[in-house]
Amino acid sequence: MTNRIQPGDPFPAFSLPDGAGQTHTLSDYAGRYVVLYAYPKDDTPGCTREACDFRDSARLREMGVQILGISQDDAASHQRFSEKFSLPFPLLTDDGEFLASIGAYGEKNSYGKVTQGVKRSTFIIDPQGKLLKSWLAVKVDGHAEAVADAIAADMETSA
């Protein structure tokens, strides 16, 4: 499955719980840039590096960007992961339905083994709730900086 959302399209509304049981909706963040990153599994090496890179991005903080992680892990797993690595942003849980609707769930190939699951993906949603940019096959190293670059470029053209 490929992402059906194109830049400039309204991003699909969502209402999903985080690790603490609080529900988050896209409209909660109206007027702000939102980075929604989908990742396969809490507390695994690549997912931990990615979460910590977003956590440590001073540029994203300075720009006032809201970061949201999303995976199929349950609330308790998210809570442990968030506490272990002092993640200052919500980790949302989804049964796969919303993830599939945005192109972040489906068939993936890992070392020749084909499975179904969460595809490491990132979506930037602009302050008007539209997709600014997406990455559907994220390489973790340097990714948070690439996300910050894309938002900074949009801020410059929107100013």
Distance CA 33, CA 122 (A): 13
The dihedral through the CA atoms of 76, 80, 85, 88 has a sign that is positive
What's the farthest any 2 CA atoms get from each other in the chain?
A: 46
**Active-site pick, 47, 65, 91, 138:** 47
- Known active-site residue 47: yes
Cβ contact 83:51 at 8 Å: no
CA distances from 28 to 23, 24, 88, 139, 150 (A): 10, 7, 17, 29, 22
Distance CA 54, CA 32 (A): 16
- Nearest Cα neighbor of 134 from 60, 34, 56 is 34
Distance CA 119, CA 137 (A): 7
User: Which residues does the annotation mark as catalytic?
Assistant: 47
